[in-house]
Amino acid sequence: MSDRTNDLGLPIGAAVPGWTPRPRPSRCILAGRYCSVQPLESSQHGTELFDANATDREGRMWTYLSYGPFQSQESYRARLDAMQASDDPRFLAIVAQRTGRAVGVASYLRIDGANGSIEVGHLQFSPLLQRTPAATEAMYLMMKQVFDLGYRRYEWKCDALNAASRRAAERLGFRFEGIFRQATVYKGRNRDTAWYSVIDTEWPAIAAGFEAWLDPSNFAPSGAQRMTLAQAHRSLDQAWSAD
């Protein structure tokens, strides 16, 4: 909290000296060890994504999205065509380095350069992406691009009943901010929305934790992680507090 006051003695927020609006994230490929995050191209990624999504035979991944599941490649391609044409949300394909195939979708949305705020959402992680280093790295690469551009705030919002999404947000370093009750209606049902965020002052520590976890030395030959992402964050916090 700020201890500044105006000339009336009323509390006011901390100064943000030299602030200028932030640019929109560019349409470029974000390359990592385990994946790349690419501008979504329906013709390039559509068949691969449909095939990857088809491995979710129950359609579980669509439960908390306002669209899907898709029964045909044609209906899914129509959705991807609309996604590709959108500038906000700006959709991205997550491509596994090991196979070179698209296995998931994410987006930047509510892009507010004037205030330095942006949200990540529309996460469509097929079973081929879920619980893999590529899934974590994709979120790191997107977050890094935003904070490298000088944004102040990165948001994650989800249905408050989506326990998996809420666990993922906390694992990735987002802080819980509260519940917006009866925020939206989708698929004929109510959504209370859980809000999470990372702000710029928190990012350096979170980034270091990501980088330690993603290092190849953190994975055994079997692919099992040697330390969790939470442990990576804690070990760095302990090291810095001891300095």
Q: Give the tens place of pLDDT for each residue, 47-81.
A: 999 999 999 999 999 999 999 999 999 999 999 99
How confident is the model at residue 1, as a pLDDT?
Answer: 65
The tokens describing 160, both together, are 């408050």
Does pLDDT of 240 surpass 50? no
The tokens describing 59, both together, are 């359609």
How confident is the model at residue 234, as a pLDDT?
Answer: 77
pLDDT per position as a tens digit, 1-13:
678 999 999 999 9
List beta partners, residue 175: 197
How confident is the model at residue 3, as a pLDDT?
Answer: 85
- Measured CA to CA, the distance from residue 235 to residue 227 in angstroms comes to 10
- Mean pLDDT on 104-113: 98
- Measured CA to CA, the distance from residue 125 to residue 158 in angstroms comes to 14
How confident is the model at residue 242, as a pLDDT?
Answer: 53
Q: Where are the alpha helices (DSSP H) in 132-190?
A: 133-148, 163-171
The tokens describing 105, both together, are 């979708």
The residues near 122 (Cβ < 8 Å, ≥ 6 apart) are 65, 83, 89, 91, 105, 106, 107, 109
Rg (CA), the chain: 19
pLDDT per position as a tens digit, 179-229:
999 999 999 999 999 999 999 999 999 999 999 999 999 999 999 999 999
The tokens describing 148, both together, are 């490298």
Lowest mean pLDDT among 108-112, 160-164, 221-225: 221-225
How confident is the model at residue 145, as a pLDDT?
Answer: 98
Question: What are the CA-CA distances from residue 41 to residues 8, 75, 86, 90 (Å)?
Answer: 55, 16, 11, 11
How confident is the model at residue 133, as a pLDDT?
Answer: 96
CATH topology of domain 23-216: Aminopeptidase (3.40.630)
How confident is the model at residue 233, as a pLDDT?
Answer: 81
- Measured CA to CA, the distance from residue 70 to residue 20 in angstroms comes to 42
How confident is the model at residue 238, as a pLDDT?
Answer: 57
The answer to whether 53 touches 126, Cβ cutoff 8 Å, is yes
The tokens describing 241, both together, are 């507090």
- Would you say the C-alpha torsion 142, 40, 170, 187 has a positive or negative sign? positive
Q: What percent of the chain has pLDDT over 90?
A: 93
Q: Could you tell me the pTM of the whole model?
A: 0.94
Does pLDDT of 241 surpass 60? no
Q: How confident is the model at residue 236 (pLDDT cuts 50, 70, 90)?
A: low
